[in-house]
């Protein structure tokens, strides 16, 4: 398989993950609009169970110092060939920042690359990511 074909497969997987995320977020919004706490909790649980892993990291600090609060996050959605993840920056309250959020894909022997997103896609990713707790 050529690099171009591998990239196409990786991007196709990213858009499949994005479609799933939009469905999960729509269910969450519907539960919130209906003020149905049980449905909201179920929608949030479905989002938390969707991710394979959730990681954070802080910025540079001197050896021996205690790391500061997390500055970036990564949510792994699927792995293998292809793999898909959401990465982004956290604000001062350890919440995802919609402006810096990316959906990235990777295939065998090709690096992680951001997928082009429209504002609606970024909003869905940020809402999805906001369900996770990134604080201490």
pLDDT value at residue 136: 62
In this structure, are residues 24 and 40 in contact, taking their beta carbons and an 8 Å threshold?
no
pLDDT at 66: 81
Three-state DSSP class for 45?
helix
Peptide bond into 82 cis (omega under 30): yes
Alpha-carbon gap, residue 48 to 132, rounded angstroms: 7
pLDDT in tens, the chain (136 residues): 688 888 899 999 999 999 999 999 999 999 999 999 999 999 999 999 999 999 999 888 788 888 778 889 999 999 987 999 999 999 888 899 888 899 999 998 889 999 999 999 999 999 999 999 887 6
pTM to 2 decimals? 0.89
Annotated domain spans of the chain:
3-59+69-129
Q: What is the pLDDT of residue 111?
A: 92
User: Residue-wise over 76-111: b if at least 16 C-beta within 10 A, else e?
Assistant: ebbeeebbbbbbbebeeebbbebeebbbbbbbeebe
- Residue 3's pLDDT is 84
């Amino acid at each position: 398989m050529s690099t171009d074909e591998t990239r196409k497969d990786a991007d196709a997987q990213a858009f499949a993950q994005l479609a799933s995320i939009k469905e999960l977020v729509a269910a969450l919004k519907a539960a919130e609009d209906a003020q149905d706490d049980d449905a909201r909790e179920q929608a949030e649980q479905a989002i938390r169970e969707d991710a394979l892993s959730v990681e954070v990291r802080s910025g540079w600090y001197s050896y021996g110092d205690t790391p500061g609060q997390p500055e970036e996050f990564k949510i792994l959605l699927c792995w293998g060939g292809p793999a898909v993840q959401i990465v982004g920056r956290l604000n001062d309250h350890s919440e995802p920042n919609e402006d810096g959020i990316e959906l990235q894909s990777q295939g065998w022997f090709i690096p992680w690359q951001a997928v082009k997103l429209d504002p609606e896609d970024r909003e869905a990713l940020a809402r999805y990511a906001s369900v996770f707790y990134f604080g201490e």
